[in-house]
Amino acid sequence: MERTSTAPKDAAAVILIRQDTDPNNPEVYWVKRSDKLAFLGGFHAFPGGQIDADDAAADVRNAPNSETAAMISGAARELFEELGVLVIRGGETLTKGQRESLLDDLESGRMPWSALLDHYNLHLDAEDFTYVGRWVTPPFNARRFDTWFFLAKCPPKQEPRVIAGELAEGEWLTARGAYARWMRDEVVAVPPTLHALRMLGAGVTPDLVERFLSLRHAQGEVARQITFRPNYLCFPVRTPTRPPATHTCCYLVHTSKELLIFDPGSPYEEEQQALAECIDEMVAAGRRVREIILTHHHPDHVGGVNALKTHLGGNVTVAAHEETAKILTDVHVDRFIQDNEIISLDGEPPLQLQAMHTPGHAPGHLCFHDAQRGVLITGDNIVGFGSVLIDPADGKMRDYLNSLERMRSLPNLSVLFGGHGPAVATPYKKIDEYISHRLERERTILKAVQNGVTDPKEIVAQVYTDVSPKAYAMAERAVMAHLEKLREDGKVR
Ligand SMILES: [Zn+2]
């Protein structure tokens, strides 16, 4: 059941296959999304983007229906805009220079895509675009897309190149080679990208499309399990969390033999059941549930602990920081996790997580660092979607900033797994943003106080000009936390 998440927007992507490539392991063009993008910045993916209203107006021949035609048109346009590759009929005689000026006409907005094709006597043909599924972004993010994927062959004498803007880099790579890079933790990618690489890596066979579509998630059914990184499965569950977030990410960290469950947060039965089924499958595959671990005590992170414990037969250890255990009343913590404690998982590949006591958002907040794999489970200290509230009831701004600094000092981080939203593929940039955002707020609050404004309500009105009045009550809590820190720092009385 999805209640508050927004409807996904139509989008299209192109999996570009190289001319004359080895059909047993074809080369595909994959791209790294710019670090600056709010949606999946720094992720490896295929070129694509949101459908424009004008896409439906383009001349697309041989499409089974108008919806498919519009999607193909959007896919072709995105491919052209992002990589300069034009998969088009009637364009065979266009010179490189002519394609450049066409691109310029499109980018500068001189002519819309559909008019441009007409003007140059070009048209699209559905036969050049093989539909291989549609994937819907899980509802853990407000930005959601219903993305249609198409295979297309790169036309002769055209060479893709990354056009600055949404993409940072791109390259031809064999499907198996690209997948291996993901397996080696060198990139972060989403399930449809990985699925495509796996299918193509098994060869361009007559049943290729059938294999692509054999997954329910490749046919528009929202995936419940997301593996951004091998051995780290994200399972978002719907929770009564703070808007705009609607889900909390439960993480299932596993080897061939053992499984750790982080933050089973949903109090809703159907969500608990879905999670339990996923865990049951992992157990049926030969794994032992080692522990349920809590990053902190907030209800949206612990709401499903008791139900899961019961489901697993009652004798599973629940582990958390002692401070968390002190606050929790309905959930019993069996084991305390100490700062710097190392949790080692048996099996393949062996995994080691180091616990870090990182208070601020909550007194017993823990993060978990896998130094070997470059992973940091950040709980609510950093989230992939929404913002982190430091509420003086149990939050401390000074501790929080220290915790962020400590996280920032970890070497070789390549991905953050937060308590809400998708993984973050730009760890240091994200942590820096969090730190500078808080310090900037602190500066403006201090200035307001120095100008004689002391009432938190008034401070909010002056300082939080970028948030909607609906969020003022929360902003007021944050101001109190900032004032407390400024007092501790001796900057205000
Ligand atoms: Zn929280």
Provide mean pLDDT across the span 406-428.
96
- Tell me the CA–centroid distance for residue 248 and ligand 1, in Å: 10
Query: How close is the Cα of 463 to the center of ligand 1, in Å?
Result: 24
Mean pLDDT of 44-67: 97
Q: Which one, of 139, 135, 32, lies nearest residue 426 by Cα?
A: 32
HSE, CB side, 13 Å, CA atoms: give it for residue 335: 13
Q: What is the pLDDT of residues 380-415, one digit of tens each?
A: 999 998 888 999 888 999 999 999 999 999 999 999
Query: How much is the pLDDT for 353?
Result: 98
Q: How far is the CA of 469 from the centre of ligand 1 (A)?
A: 22
Res 2 pLDDT > 80: no
Residue 372 pLDDT greater than 60, yes or no: yes
Question: Does pLDDT of 469 surpass 90?
Answer: no
This model's pTM is above 0.85: yes
- Residue 470's pLDDT band, with cuts at 50, 70 and 90, is confident
State pLDDT tens for residues 213-249: 999 999 999 999 999 999 999 999 999 988 888 999 9
The two tokens of residue 408 are 């920032």
d(CA 200, CA 40): 23
Over residues 286-303, mean pLDDT = 97
How far is it, in rounded angstroms, from Cα 77 to Cα 113?
Answer: 7
**Whole-angstrom distance, CA of residue 232 vs CA of residue 378:** 13
CA of 267 to the centre of ligand 1 (A): 15
Give me ligand 1 centre to Cα 378, in Å. 11
CB-neighbour burial class of residue 415 (10 A; exposed 0-12, middle 13-18, buried 19+): buried
Please report which helix (H) or strand (E) contains residue 243, including its range. Answer: none
Contact 252, 260 (CB under 8 A): yes
For residue 282, what are the CA distances in angstroms to 118, 177, 237?
Answer: 54, 27, 17
CA dihedral angle for residue 17, residue 30, residue 33, residue 211, rounded to 10 degrees:
80
Per residue in 104-149, pLDDT (tens digit) is: 999 999 999 999 999 999 999 999 999 999 999 998 887 899 999 9
Give distance in angstroms: CA of 189 to centre of ligand 1. 26
Higher pLDDT, 195 or 470: 195
| Residue 401 confidence (pLDDT) | 97
From 181-185, 320-324, 345-349, 465-469, the region with the lowest mean pLDDT:
465-469
328 Cβ partners below 8 Å, 6+ apart?
Answer: 297, 302, 320
Distance 297 CA to ligand 1 centre (A): 7
What confidence category does residue 172 fall into, taking pLDDT thresholds of 50, 70 and 90?
very high
Summarize the confidence of residues 451-467 as an average pLDDT.
Answer: 90
Q: What average pLDDT does the structure give for the chain?
A: 95
**Cα–Cα distance measured from residue 1 to residue 245, given in angstroms and rounded to the nearest whole number:** 15
Q: Would you say residue 1 has pLDDT above 60?
A: no
**Beta-strand relationship, 145-153 and 130-136:** antiparallel
The pLDDT value given to residue 385: 86
